[in-house]
A and B are shown apart, each in its own frame.
With several copies, the nearest count.
Chain A
Amino acid sequence: MFSRITYVFREMWASLSRNLTLTVAAVITATVSLFLSGLTLLIQEGFDNQLSAWTKGVRLLVYVDNDATPEQLKVFTDALTQAKAEGTVVKDFNYCDVACSVDVAHKLYAGDPTAIELYNDKTTPSFFRVIPVNQSSATQLNQLAERLHGLPKVNAVVSPDQMITTLSVLKGFVGVRSLIMSIVLLLAAVLLIWNAIRTAMFARRREIEVMKLVGATNWFIRLPFMLEGLVTGLIGGLIGGGALLAVNQDWTDGITTRFPANSGLAAFVATGSTPWSIALAMVALGALVGAIGSATAAGRFLDV
């Protein structure tokens, strides 16, 4: 049994090194494709985190003219209470009257005497603060903002930044396309591994023929080749996963040092164990790709 195992590994290694360039090409393609797949996932994760960071801080501020009557204010309260009861967009709301609003402004511009002078109970409008439900989308918030804008005495509705919409669209655009690209490359990787195995077997078809003629079993013949494909895919997965972690580290570092502090990209990172899970998934995917490629390739040439 032991001699069989050494046989399998020796043969695998011989075949790997004999086909060196093809193996290297297969590894590179597997690496890049797995790296791209992982990167797609990481970028998606970054988008998600950035979006939720932006969305989480979102407050819809509805500024109401100071001369609004209590009846007019009640229209707002009613509309928002109803929306809150529906529960899809509005999670909660509260009213900040003129005194409260001046207070907020003075806190906000604490260091700026001119601004503090500017905001007095004449000039500062009161406002409703609307806290959206966590899962509510940017579109829904925009719709709500428009509805509220239609009410009387509204001075301004400050809605979530259009940046959020832009980012969502960008996420979809980039995500779908990089996914397609990585799938195409993954396909190329399967094909290449399939091919490396087929080439290896083709180059050794005489050997295989002789092995069969002297009574070797099909599994004995097949094993080194299958292992070869598995190892090729695995190496690709390891390098690709490693590169992924490195680039992720690089980016995460860059977020805090390279970019201006206030660049608004601070949340555009995958956090915690996510990069590791993705990298591990890539290693597993590499092994799977290798196994699939080599198993299908090794199936041929072996009809006794």
Chain B
Amino acid sequence: MIRIENVTKTYSTDVTALRDASFEVNKAEFVFLVGPSGSGKSTLLRLMSRQERPEKGGVWVAGRNIVEMPNNKIPELRRKIGNIFQDYKLLLNKTVFENVAFALEVIGKPKQVIRQQVPQVLEIVGLEDKADRFPHQLSGGEQQRVSIARAFVNRPLILLADEPTGNLDPGTGEGIMRLLDRINTTGTTVVMATHDQRIVNQMRKRVIQLDRGVIVRDQHRGVYD
């Protein structure tokens, strides 16, 4: 489903965020990206949805090399991917419902689909009674759950999650992990960057560990460290 081949990514500031990274993620696989702050986890996720382009190497997603993909094909690519962002990226002037509906609206889904799917997904993340709130009326963890709901309301092929439990208490965090696991078992490929030792150790999924841009470990049924 995703293939990273000898990817090197250097930022304008002369930081090499990734150095000659290679790995492959199969369909319906669940992968944790771990590593210290600044080791390149978010960069790797951004490469997979063409928010960044590598200097060297190839990134294959759903069978196509997206590095050379023309700009007008990007929307199509992104509709296959659900993104959970480290900083949520919620729209402050839209309610919870509208934020989630927005992801369906902009790709032209009809009204009735929206009216049906959004409440469903809000219930899954436990926000059904906060549908009319605005983001600034939510706690940090609630905002994070909105961003999770938005990412998979579209039932994407691939889910890229950047610290989806960073602002959640252990209880809520475990709920989210059960959810991601369930999504994964329905055939969605999940790649998740995390610092949460406990969660990684509990789940026992494949773990790819980064250190200063280099893949130092790629272990099936791995632990945090």
Binding site for B on A (CB under 8 A): 3-4, 7, 206-207, 209-218, 220-221, 303-304
Q: Name the residue in A7, A213, A218 with the highest tally of chain B Cβ atoms < 10 Å from its Cβ.
A: A213
Q: A217-B75, A220-B106, A304-B50 are in contact. Are A209 and B89 (CB under 8 A)?
A: yes
A215–B91 CB distance below 8 A = no
CB contacts (< 8 Å) of B76 on chain A: these are 215
Q: Which of B35-43, B107-115, B120-128 contacts A (4 or more CB under 8 A)?
A: B107-115
CB contacts (< 8 Å) of B51 on chain A: these are 213
B108–A3 CB distance below 8 A = yes
CB contacts (< 8 Å) of B105 on chain A: these are 7
B83 interface hit (Cβ, 8 Å): yes
- Residue-wise, chain B 40-64 has the 8 Å CB interface mask toward A (1 for contact) of 0000000001110000000000000
B107–A214 CB distance below 8 A = yes
- Tally inter-chain residue pairs, CB-CB below 8 A: 55
CB contacts (< 8 Å) of B79 on chain A: these are 214-215
Q: Which residue in A206, A209, A221, A304 is a CB contact (below 8 Å) of B74? A: A304
Q: A213-B49, A215-B75, A304-B74 are in contact. Are A3 and B111 (CB under 8 A)?
A: yes
Q: A304-B50, A304-B71 are in contact. Are A216 and B89 (CB under 8 A)?
A: no
Q: Name the residue in B75, B76, B102 with the highest tally of chain A Cβ atoms < 10 Å from its Cβ.
A: B75
Least Cβ–Cβ distance between B91 and chain A, in angstroms: 5
- Residue-wise, chain B 65-78 has the 8 Å CB interface mask toward A (1 for contact) of 00000011011111
Residues facing A in B87-107 (CB within 8 A) are 89, 91-93, 102-103, 105-107
Least Cβ–Cβ distance between B188 and chain A, in angstroms: 16
Complex Cα–Cα for A209 and B49 (A): 13
CB contacts (< 8 Å) of B111 on chain A: these are 3
Complex Cα–Cα for A213 and B92 (A): 16
B150 interface hit (Cβ, 8 Å): yes
Q: Which residue in A210, A215, A221 is a CB contact (below 8 Å) of B89? A: A210
Least Cβ–Cβ distance between A225 and chain B, in angstroms: 14
Q: Which residue in A214, A217, A221 is a CB contact (below 8 Å) of B103? A: A214
A215–B102 CB distance below 8 A = no
B165 interface hit (Cβ, 8 Å): no
12 A–B pairs (Cβ distance < 8 Å), ordered by A: A4-B108, A210-B91, A211-B102, A214-B79, A214-B83, A214-B106, A214-B107, A214-B150, A218-B71, A303-B71, A304-B50, A304-B74
B107–A215 CB distance below 8 A = yes
Q: A207-B91, A214-B78, A214-B102 are in contact. Are A3 and B110 (CB under 8 A)?
A: yes
Least Cβ–Cβ distance between B150 and chain A, in angstroms: 7
Complex Cα–Cα for A209 and B88 (A): 12
A215–B78 CB distance below 8 A = yes
CB contacts (< 8 Å) of A218 on chain B: these are 71-72, 75
Complex Cα–Cα for A177 and B135 (A): 51
CB contacts (< 8 Å) of A217 on chain B: these are 72, 75
B92–A206 CB distance below 8 A = yes
Complex Cα–Cα for A304 and B91 (A): 19
Least Cβ–Cβ distance between B44 and chain A, in angstroms: 16
Q: A4-B108, A7-B105, A207-B91 are in contact. Are A214 and B49 (CB under 8 A)?
A: no
> Taking CB as reference atom, which chain B residue is nearest A210?
B89
Least Cβ–Cβ distance between B76 and chain A, in angstroms: 7
Complex Cα–Cα for A304 and B71 (A): 7
